[in-house]
Structure 1
Amino acid sequence: MAVQLPHSFSERMKNLLGREYEAFAETYGEIPHTGVRVNTLKIPVEALRRIMPFGIEPIPWCSTGFYTPEGARPGKHPYYHAGLYYIQEPSAMAPVELLGVLPGDRVLDLCAAPGGKSTQIAAKLQGRGMLVSNDLHSERTKALAKNLELCGARNAIVLNESPERIAEAFPGFFDRILIDAPCSGEGMFRKDEDMVRQWDESTPAKYAGMQREILQAAARALKPGGTLVYSTCTFSPEENEGGITEFLAGHPQFSVVPVGGTGSFAPGFQPLPDTARLWPHKVKGEGHFIAVLRHEATAGEDTAGTRAGDPSLPVAPRRETGGRTAVPRKDKTPESRVDNRGGRSSGRNGSRGRSVAFTSEGDIMAAYAEFTREQLGWQPEGFPILFGEHLYMSPLPREALDGLKTVRPGWYMGQVRNGRFIPGHPLATALAPHESRRSVSLAGDGAEAVSYLKGETLSIPSDRLRLAPGAAPKGYVLVCIDEYSVGWAKWQEGILKNEYPAGWRWT
C-alpha cells in the first residue's frame, strides 16, 4: 500500500523537485530496498559471497554492500549471529564510504546508535587506531554496544555523552568525525510510516537547531587536516545545505570536499552543489544528504588541553612493568557506567547502585594472565581498565575517560569469580579460531549451529576439537560456525556446555 504523505510535505517537495516530483512520489508505492554489508573484520567480501545462502547484488557506492532479494531473511541465519554481515539500508552505507577511514585513524561517531555506521567504521580500521562511538540516548547505547561486540570490534569505546562534553575532553584529537545527525527523517518515510505520523511542518526547524549545536562541538574535536562527514536521512534544505552554509560562515577553517553530481549521487542544492543527495527515484535506496568537510587549519590550533594527552599520543600500546601488565588506578568515577555482563548497567561504576567488595587488582590480573596463557597463548593489547572485578582492554588510558559517561571503555575480556577468570562473550566474538588454543566449528547449514545459538548443550567428541599443541580438551572452547567465532562453551567428557548469553540467543 502506498504511503500517505502529509499535504504540506508534498507541496514543499513539489517546489524543491519541480518536474521530478511525480517520479519521486511514485516511489512511495514501491517496496523499500534492503541490504547487507559484509563485516570484513571477520570475512573477506568474496568469501561471504561464495557461502551466502541467497543471491546478492552489489550496491554501487559501497564495495562491501549488497542488495538482498525480496523475501530473504538474513537475520534468521547463523551467519548473522556469527557477525559476518550487518543488515543495513543501502543509502545508509554511503556516509562512511565518504569519510575515508584508514587503519590507524582515530574516529568519532558522534550520533552512533544503533551502530550500523560504527560497525562499518570498525571494519575499515581493521583493529588499528581507535573508534569512539557515542549516543546521547542511554537506552540506544545498548544496541550500539551489542552491534560492535557482534562484529568483533576490539578497539571501540562506547560513550553516552553530549557532543559538547566530548569536545571538551578531546579537543583537536580525532582524524575523522561522522555526524549522522538526528533529523526529521523525511528520507525514511517509505521505510518507516511512524516517521510520517510524527512529522509536521515544524519538525525540520526543531531538528535544525540541534544539528547546528552538534556541528559546533564536532569542529572542536576534529584535528587540523581532519575530515568531518555530516549526513541526514531527510530532504529539508534547512537541515542540510542551510545548516552547512551557516556552519561554514562561522568556521572559515573548514571547506567542502566535492562529492555531489558523481555516480549515484545527485548534487546538493545551491549554494552547496558539491554536497550530495541520494534520491529514492534516482537510486535503489532511501533519501540521504551528505556533506564532506575538511579542516584546513594548520597544526597546533584548537588542540591544547586534551585530557587524552597530546594528539600524537600512541593508541593502545601494551605497558609492561617488571614483566607484568601495569594496571591503571581503579577510580570510582561517578559518571562511569559500564555493563559487566555484555549489556548496559543501570547503576554507577558497573555496581548496579550498591557497594561491592572487589578482589584485589593483583589477583584479578593474575587470574587473567593465567587464563590468557592457558586459553589463548597470547596477550591482547591495550590499556587494562578495571571496573570492580571486570576487565577491559581499552585503546585509551583510564584517565582519558575519567568523568565521561562510559558504556564500554574498550574490549571486554571478562571477570574474576571465585578466584577464576570467566571470559566475556565479547572476547569470543572478536577472536579468530587460531587465536584460541581450543576451538570447534559447527556447520552453518546444520542443526548443531542453531542448537548452540539457542543455548542448548551439545555432544561433541574430543576428536572434533581443534587443539593447539599441548592443549588438553577440557576447558573453555571457542565455538565457531563455519570457522567464524560466535561464543564460548566448556568441554568435558564429550559434552559441550553452552556459554552463549541468554540475551543473544536465537528465538
Structure 2
Amino acid sequence: MDSENFKQHLKKYLSNENIDKLITSLNDKQKYSCIIIDEEKIDKETIKKIYPTLIEHPFVKNAFLYDKELELGKSLLFEIGAFYILEPCSILVSHFLNPQKDDLILDIAAAPGGKSIHTSFLMKNKGQIISNEISSSRVEILSSNVEKYGRKNISVISTDTKTLKNQFPNTFTKIILDAPCSGSGMFRKDINMKEDWTYNKVLSCATLQKELIIDAYSLLAEGGEMIYSTCSYSYEEDEEVVQYLLNNTDAILLDIPSFNGEYRSSLNKTVHLLPFLYQGEGHYIAKIKKPNTLKKINFPQNKNKYNLDGEIFINNKNELFLTNLLLSFKNIRVLRNGIKIGTIDKKLGLIYDHAYARFLQNNLSKVDLSKEETINFIYGLTLNKTIPDGYVNLTYLNIPFALGKVSKNQIKNHYPKGLRKKLLHY
C-alpha cells in the first residue's frame, strides 16, 4: 500500500489529527466480534446465562459483542443456528434499514449472507428477501448460510443489476446495497486488502458503485427506502457516490439517527464508522428514500396443501421449496426459494431435506436431545432412544437442527456427512 497516497486521499473529509488516529488504530487488532441471536429460537436471558461475558449492544436489538478469544464460531449453538456472527459495524446496516414483516427486500450483493440473515431475524421469517450475489462461488456460500439458519423468507439468486432492473423496476420496498469496494475498512482483518490497496482501485470501485446505486434506485418502489454502505474509508466511494445519486435522480437523503461513536462529514446525514471511535473495523452508511407513497405488498395468507403457511415452488429437479412470496425470475439462476422441504420421488413420495429440519415451524415430530447427545449426533453417531419408529426432527434447547430416522429404538444419523464435525466447546 502507498501509505502517503492513502493519507492524502483521506483529507477530503478527515483532519490531520483524525487521519493520524485512524492510521494508528489500523495497527491495533480488533478485539471484539458480534453475534445476532434469532429470538424465535433463543432468548436474551438464555444466551447470557450460557455466555455470561457477552456485552449487550447499546441500541441494536438482540446483538451482543464478545471477545474473539471465546471462539463462538466453534460452538454448539452457532452450529445449530441459534445466532449469526457479524462484524460489529455490519449489524448497523439491517438495524437502520428497519425492515418490517410486510416488506419485499432486495439485498443486491449479499454474500456471505450476514445482512440478509440479520434482516430475516428482524422480520421473524415474514415478508420476503431476495438475496442476490453475482459471483458464482460466493453465491454458494450465501445459499449454504441461508439453509443453515432455516430462512423461509429468503430466496437466493445470482445475476447482475441490469437484469434485475429490467424485470423488477420500482418493485422492492427496501433495498440493501453493500457495494463492492476497495476494502480499506478491512485492513485489520485481511492483510491482503491492505497490500492490494491503491488509489486507482478506489476510483475504479467508485465508477462501479455509481452504476450500482443508480440501478438499485431504479429497483426501489416509490416510497421505498434503501441503505447504501461500504467497508471503505474513501470519500470517493462513500459521499461522492451518494451525491452522484442525489444529483441524477429524485432521491431523498434520510438522516441516520445519531449514536455514540459515529463520525459525520459534510454530507452529514450519513455516517462513517471509524475504529478509533466505534468498536469495529470500518464502515460507511447512508439511507435513501424514493418519493411518493409506498404501496403495500400482498402476501398469500392461506395454508398450502402441505398445511404450511406460504407458497410452494417445485423446480425441474422435483425439489420442493416453501417461501412467503414467489417472484417470477426469467433467465436468472435461482439457488433456493426459501426453505427446501425435500425432493419428490415417484416411488417413495416426499423425501425430507436437512434444510427443512432447520425450519422452526416445520410439521415434523420433535425430539429434544441433551447437550452430549446433540454433540454426538453432529459428530455422526447413532443415538439410542425409546421412541416410535419414523422420521423425527431433532432439537437442542428446542432449537431444530437435524433429521433422524428412528428404527428399533435407534435414531439413525441423517446429518449431512459434509457437515459432521467434532465441536470443541458449548
Q: TM-score, normalised by structure 2?
A: 0.92
The CA RMSD over aligned residues, in Å, is 2.1
From 384, 392, 406, the counterpart of 1:459: 384
1:441 aligns with 2:368: yes
- The aligned counterpart of 2:36 is 37
From 261, 274, 286, the counterpart of 1:279: 274
Q: Is the 8 A contact 1:155 1:394 kept in 2?
A: yes
From 490, 494, 504, the counterpart of 2:409: 494
Closer, same or farther: CA 405–35 of 1 in aligned 2, 3 Å: same
- The aligned counterpart of 1:416 is 344
Q: CA deviation digits over 1:382-413, x for unaligned, max 9? A: 13333322111233346x12332211122211
- The aligned counterpart of 2:111 is 113
Q: Is the 8 A contact 2:127 2:325 kept in 1?
A: no
- The aligned counterpart of 1:207 is 205
Task: Give the distance between the partners of 2:226 and 2:331, measured in 1 at CA.
Answer: 25
Q: Larger deviation: 419-428 or 54-63?
A: 54-63
Q: Is the 8 A contact 2:309 2:324 kept in 1?
A: no
Name structure 2 gaps, 5 residues minimum. Answer: none
Name structure 1 gaps, 5 residues minimum. Answer: 300-310, 326-368, 370-377, 463-472
Task: Give the distance between the partners of 2:313 and 2:148, measured in 1 at CA.
Answer: 21
Task: Give the distance between the partners of 2:312 and 2:351, measured in 1 at CA.
Answer: 19
Q: Is the 8 A contact 2:180 2:209 kept in 1?
A: yes
Question: CA offset at residue 213 of structure 1?
Answer: 1.2
Task: Give the distance between the partners of 1:155 and 1:120, measured in 2 at CA.
Answer: 12
Opposite residue 414 of structure 2, the aligned amino acid is E
Q: CA deviation digits over 1:389-447, x for unaligned, max 9? A: 2111233346x123322111222110123323111111110125xx5452222223x2x
Opposite residue 409 of structure 1, the aligned amino acid is N
Q: Is the 8 A contact 2:102 2:297 kept in 1?
A: no
- The aligned counterpart of 2:170 is 172
Q: Secondary structure at the match of 2:403?
A: strand
By relative contact order (CA 8 Å, sep 6+), the higher-ranking structure is 2
Question: CA offset at residue 240 of structure 1?
Answer: 0.3
From 330, 344, 349, the counterpart of 1:402: 330
Task: Give the distance between the partners of 2:8 and 2:325, measured in 1 at CA.
Answer: 50
Count of aligned pairs between the two proteins: 419
Task: Give the distance between the partners of 1:61 and 1:240, measured in 2 at CA.
Answer: 24
Closer, same or farther: CA 458–292 of 1 in aligned 2, 3 Å: same
Closer, same or farther: CA 317–170 of 1 in aligned 2, 3 Å: farther
Identity across aligned pairs (percent)?
26
Q: CA deviation digits over 1:122-169, x for unaligned, max 9? A: 111112211100011011111111111222211211110111211221
Task: Give the distance between the partners of 2:188 and 2:226, measured in 1 at CA.
Answer: 28
Q: Secondary structure at the match of 1:87?
A: strand
1:290 aligns with 2:285: yes
Q: Which has the larger radius of gyration?
A: 1
Opposite residue 414 of structure 1, the aligned amino acid is G
Task: Give the distance between the partners of 1:164 and 1:319, measured in 2 at CA.
Answer: 35
Task: Give the distance between the partners of 1:313 and 1:238, measured in 2 at CA.
Answer: 36
Task: Give the distance between the partners of 1:273 and 1:36, measured in 2 at CA.
Answer: 29
Q: Secondary structure at the match of 1:50?
A: helix
- The aligned counterpart of 2:391 is 476
Task: Give the distance between the partners of 2:6 and 2:291, measured in 1 at CA.
Answer: 37
- The aligned counterpart of 1:192 is 190
From 407, 416, 419, the counterpart of 1:504: 419
Q: Secondary structure at the match of 1:422?
A: strand
Task: Give the distance between the partners of 1:296 and 1:45, measured in 2 at CA.
Answer: 38
Q: Is the 8 A contact 2:41 2:398 kept in 1?
A: no
Q: CA deviation digits over 1:247-285, x for unaligned, max 9? A: 101112x11111265433221x22x11111111000111
Q: Is the 8 A contact 1:61 1:94 kept in 2?
A: no
